[in-house]
Structure 1
């Protein structure tokens, strides 16, 4: 398990407690910062794709002028090696933020660039590694093993673009096989190294049923959170991650029945062993 154990880094985001709905907000729109913070469990102030390159210097200044609670704020910075990377990281640190999302994470060296800049500033920072290219997905196990990585996220659209594709989904909204594979690969990399996994955004804002189904599946698979692009998606994600009372009661009864059992036992017609008990504990922990 990573040294930081997915918990808060100094005054950074603690993904174990922050809640499942992470809302992107353009960093050049400080007028939206407060509203985003009120509506979501955490805000991702975006210096990358949501901001025109010419507006990025002003967006960095906006981080300083309109500050949010760093315990509920992530700053997405431009990729390692880009002309904006160092300036983005330094602006985020200067504004007091300690959890940075690294766009297009493709290597351990990219993650360590943030670690080096943090050390130079005399602080400790946590990295959310966004593995959203073919290289990034393949490197996800090595990236997730880095001690400064507090979460790993994947992205479908940049992934397909890196492959020369044109669409991550079929017309009915289902992910294409390569996107589903990437989603699973990043989740497994996070799980193998004891760090948080964050699911990708659902771009179709009007597809509430699709988002609900996707977030429900994410929670069942082990993702800790889902990113979103519109405030209306927050409530849907929260509801999807929240276990219903019937499932919670069944989990409580199962764990109560397990007390004193020496090993495998039968409960409500099912064979129960330790993995099944861990499922029940995870459900209660999520509640």
Structure 2
């Protein structure tokens, strides 16, 4: 029995390590979490608000469901002191991803997935604190600031210890709860990303209890479409990150994001991210 248990856990460990470098910090891969699993995330973001130089935080609790090997669902909440005085809950979102293509080879695989996301947020479109009379933020998003829907495609290629992934998506912004989109703002945006992850440790796999260390760099971009001329901006951010995975179940992410290029007026140009995640396998019974 001990030998069987060790073999099973070893296979789980190998599976986790083989795709560990796909667990991107600022984007999602085409691969899914394990089927019939349950995950919990707590993300904290720290940022400097451009309109008055104040520091703000956002907290994002999240529950993740591995429905099957092809389908997973995230349910997230948002709370921050970014847009109004004092910390307050802002709303929530639901994210679903379906993997429709998987080509597996030894030490490599290629996968594609489609995703959709919807968010309902109660926030003004511009901060209500500080001296911001001349301030405008055209960088709308579904991660706590704005309501809307988005969808797109993800393609991920694993090559031994290196994983590359790209995402292209479309976002339609809607009125927030009790707050309408200001005149001239763009309600449409194209989002795109290019992510790379490298498994640095362990050099040689011996046990699923070994700690993994992954290094990431991600390019995250957006182009607004429609609206007034000033609202049709774009930007490209870079986000390096380091990640630790413990016992193939728990991970710690640290990331810094900053703008490389762009002409869009934004709330935030630089931010830090800290995330803790824990996964529980075989929670749901197989039908």
TM-score when scaled to structure 2? 0.28
Going by fraction, where is helix more abundant, 1 or 2?
Answer: 1
**Higher RCO (Cα < 8 Å, 6 or more apart):** 2
TM-score when scaled to structure 1? 0.28
